[in-house]
Amino acid sequence: MYYLKNILFLYLTKNQKASLFSYIKSFAKKYKDLSTDEILDAFIEEEKYYFNVNNPHFEWISEYLEQEKFLKELKTLINENKKQLELKEKQKPFLEKQKLLAKEQRKKAAEYKMSKEKPTKKQIYYYNKLCDQYKITKEDLTNKSKLDLKNIIGKILDEQASSEKGFDRDIQE
């Protein structure tokens, strides 16, 4: 896409070219199911309509819409945008897998960091309150890490949630 900016629309200003490229990109995305020629025709129709109602997207474009070179370059730009969209669509499953892998790696890194740190006062306080509330014998926390305490608290909460569900089931029956 970058190379197109260096070879297409050399007669336009930098701002005109940037706004046209941006608009064509969104326009091609909007009409991605149409062919390149149909997208080009829709773009020309839309620009003529907006020019006729005195509200053009690009005030300078009316003089270029009849030029063969401009239309040819516009078609090239639309075609390249369609290719980019297709490529992005094909890469979607791969990118999703990468996101999941990165999420797992962040989780492992966080757990590794937690395994090297001492538990916080809030964690210890919460653990003690849970033990008091559910009448569980407390473990010795002197050599426990943040991760250990997190896992212990999670285990207590899971056990209590499963026992409460079982209790609810008995009442409903």
Q: Which amino acid is at 80?
A: E
Q: Helices in the chain by DSSP H: which ranges?
A: 2-7, 14-30, 36-52, 68-115, 121-134, 146-172
Taking the C-alpha atoms of 131, 132, 138 and 141 in order, what is their torsion angle to the nearest 10 degrees?
80
Q: What distance in Å separates the CA atoms of residue 147 and residue 23, rounded to the nearest whole number?
A: 50
Question: pLDDT tens digits for 127-168?
Answer: 999 999 999 999 998 899 999 999 999 999 999 888 877 654
pTM for the structure as a whole? 0.61
pLDDT digits (tens, 9 = 90+) for 83-97: 999 999 999 999 999
